[in-house]
């Protein structure tokens, strides 16, 4: 069968299955077709029922709406493989008008079901491998696909929802978070951190003779962390420095363990297992006691408990938010130009901290923002950052931004408890709102700390 161009009644054409499910036909497009006709032939192939449209679904429907008597069609040989048909439609549709995320995910997933690997799909369609992987993940997740269709989330946000496939609670919260106007990455990071913490808690629960407890506060009477306990009344020999076997012997059946957040990293919060002892006084151990501010009434006790629960949750949420914020700053540091006003922010910081030295944690934050590779310095990333700057002198403005904001992010305990820095409330509020003004979407906890809840959902 040879290829040919014919003129046929558009109403007789069969709209074959097409990867473009969201057909968009504007009044202007129909008016143009009515006035000028179909200039580019509609590609069709012969099937038993007649002529089926392969490429030109929108032109066909517009021609019918415009009442055209006939349109040009290009009759081609039937495609030998269903995979070839989908790939062909992906290419031609993307060349004319980019496919919607729903359509791309469904089509790429269908190609995988036909036995094509991600590499083969990328090679055939011209998509980047990363784009194919994302489409496959979204296409494999009912929750992610539904979020694309019904909630108009972005393709990247749908991929985050797909990451939590199998966890209906997490996916439901992620969809609600996205619909509220907040940055979906904050909620996702909280769930990642929650999973990491729960994994360590499961490890503790599997330990024989160890009781899982919540993180004890510094002034909690009992149980008390081994970091706050000593072998001698003078409090010189810390219990934290004894061997584990000795710790087990001293604690007996009062040995407890908890999961402690150790701050942020580029992957999320860092957690470690720490130990505490219940009934430490009876076991001949020593520790500080904070009795002067203890509540006296049941109402005060309950209020203190609630405040501590809120403080612990806020600290956890702040650490998750920091992971996302540092990642956003890393993207900012890769831009060719900085947002308007960055010079003022840097100057403010330089003036206010000119006489102070950076801590190792601050240099670690600077290196993370600039994405400086690990070097040889055992104490601080300062030497790594310095060497990087010598190799990239043209990025000095970006380094200045990273140094200023790394100093803020790496200040003592700002990584997890920056929200408590009441002595610097104005500085923190200005810093967060500045980032928001540059395009960073505040999380709920950051907006609350900045005193501008409306900014997060703006």
The answer, as to whether pTM is greater than 0.85, is no
Distance separating alpha carbons of residues 271 and 268, to the nearest angstrom: 9
Round to whole Å and give the CA distance between 453 and 441. 11
C-beta of residue 261 within 8 angstroms of C-beta of residue 316: yes
Instruction: Give the Å distances, CA to CA, from 248 to 27, 208, 240, 245.
Output: 78, 11, 12, 5
Give the pLDDT of residue 226. Answer: 92
Q: Write out the E strands in 291-336.
A: none
Fold of 1-78: 3.90.1530
What is residue 79's predicted lDDT score, i.e. its pLDDT? 54
Could you tell me the sign of the dihedral formed by the alpha carbons of 433, 439, 444, 446, in that order?
Answer: negative
β-strands 14-15, 224-225 pairing: unpaired
- Residue 88's pLDDT is 57
Place of tokens 């609600």: 176
Q: Are 93 and 99 in contact (CB under 8 A)?
A: yes
Lookup: tokens for 308: 């501590």
Place of tokens 């957690």: 271
Taking CB atoms within 8 Å and a gap of at least 24, the contacts of 262-267 are: 263/319, 263/415, 263/416, 264/319, 264/322, 264/323, 264/326, 264/415, 264/416, 265/323, 266/323, 266/326, 266/327, 266/330, 266/368, 267/323
How high is the pLDDT of residue 58?
Answer: 79
**Long-range pairs of 270-276 with CB within 8 A, sequence gap ≥ 24:** 271/196, 271/197, 271/200, 272/200, 273/200, 273/203, 273/204, 274/225, 274/226, 274/227, 275/225, 275/226, 275/247, 275/251, 276/213, 276/216, 276/223, 276/224, 276/225, 276/226
pLDDT along the chain (458 residues), means of 10: 79 67 67 82 80 80 90 75 55 44 64 66 70 75 78 81 88 83 84 91 93 86 90 87 90 93 74 93 86 70 83 85 90 89 73 62 85 70 81 83 84 68 76 91 87 59
pLDDT at 97: 40
1 pairs with which residues across the strands?
none
Location of structure tokens 């809840």: 453
3-state secondary structure of 259: strand
Sign of CA dihedral 251, 254, 259, 263: negative
What CA–CA distance (Å, rounded) separates 410 from 260? 19
Contact 70, 7 (CB under 8 A): yes
Joined tokens for residue 134: 């994302």
Give SS3 for 261: strand
Distance CA 220, CA 128 (A): 54
Assess contact for 14 and 49: CB atoms under 8 A. yes
H/E element, 73: strand 71-76
Q: Give the pLDDT confidence score for residue 128 in this predicted structure.
A: 72
Sign of CA dihedral 9, 13, 18, 21: positive
Give domain limits for the chain.
Answer: 1-78, 210-294, 308-456
């Amino acid at each position: 069968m040879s290829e040919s161009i014919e003129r046929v009644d558009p109403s007789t054409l069969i709209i074959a299955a097409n990867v473009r499910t969201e057909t968009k036909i504007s009044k202007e497009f129909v008016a143009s077709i009515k006035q000028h006709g179909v200039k580019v032939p509609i590609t069709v192939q012969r099937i038993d029922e007649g002529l089926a449209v392969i490429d030109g679904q929108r032109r066909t429907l517009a021609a019918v709406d415009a009442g055209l008597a006939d349109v040009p069609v290009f009759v081609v040989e039937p495609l030998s493989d269903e995979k070839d048909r989908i790939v062909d439609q992906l290419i031609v549709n993307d060349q004319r008008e980019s496919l919607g995320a729903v359509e791309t995910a469904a089509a790429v997933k269908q190609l995988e079901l036909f036995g094509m690997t991600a590499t083969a799909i990328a090679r055939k369609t011209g998509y980047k491998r990363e784009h194919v992987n994302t489409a496959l993940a979204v296409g494999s997740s009912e929750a992610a696909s539904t979020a694309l269709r019904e909630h108009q989330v972005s393709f990247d946000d749908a991929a985050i929802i797909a990451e939590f496939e199998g966890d209906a609670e997490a996916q439901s919260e992620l969809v609600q978070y996205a619909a509220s106007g907040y940055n979906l990455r904050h909620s996702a990071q909280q769930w990642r951190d929650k999973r990491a913490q729960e994994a360590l808690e499961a490890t503790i629960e599997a330990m024989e003779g160890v009781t899982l407890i919540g993180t004890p506060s510094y002034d909690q009477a009992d149980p008390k962390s081994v970091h706050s306990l000593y072998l001698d009344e003078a409090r010189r020999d810390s219990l934290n420095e004894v061997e584990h076997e000795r710790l087990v012997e001293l604690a007996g059946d009062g040995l407890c363990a908890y999961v402690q957040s150790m701050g942020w990293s580029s992957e999320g919060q860092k957690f470690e297992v720490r130990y505490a002892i219940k009934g430490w006084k009876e076991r001949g151990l020593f520790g500080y006691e904070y009795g002067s501010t203890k509540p006296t009434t049941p109402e005060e006790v309950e209020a203190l408990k609630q405040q501590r629960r809120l403080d612990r949750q806020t600290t956890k949420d702040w650490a998750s938010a920091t992971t996302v914020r540092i990642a956003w700053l890393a993207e900012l540091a890769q831009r060719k130009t900085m947002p308007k006003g960055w010079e003022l922010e840097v100057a403010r910081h330089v003036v206010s901290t000119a006489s102070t030295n950076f801590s190792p944690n601050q240099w670690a934050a600077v290196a993370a923002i600039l994405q400086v590779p690990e070097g040889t310095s055992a104490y601080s990333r300062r030497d790594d950052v310095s060497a990087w700057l010598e190799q990239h002198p043209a990025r000095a403005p970006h380094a200045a931004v990273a140094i200023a904001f790394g100093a803020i992010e790496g200040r003592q305990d700002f990584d997890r408890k920056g929200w408590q820095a009441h002595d610097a409330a104005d500085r923190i509020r200005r810093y967060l709102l500045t980032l928001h003004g540059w395009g960073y979407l505040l999380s709920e906890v950051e907006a609350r700390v900045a005193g501008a809840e409306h900014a997060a959902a703006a």
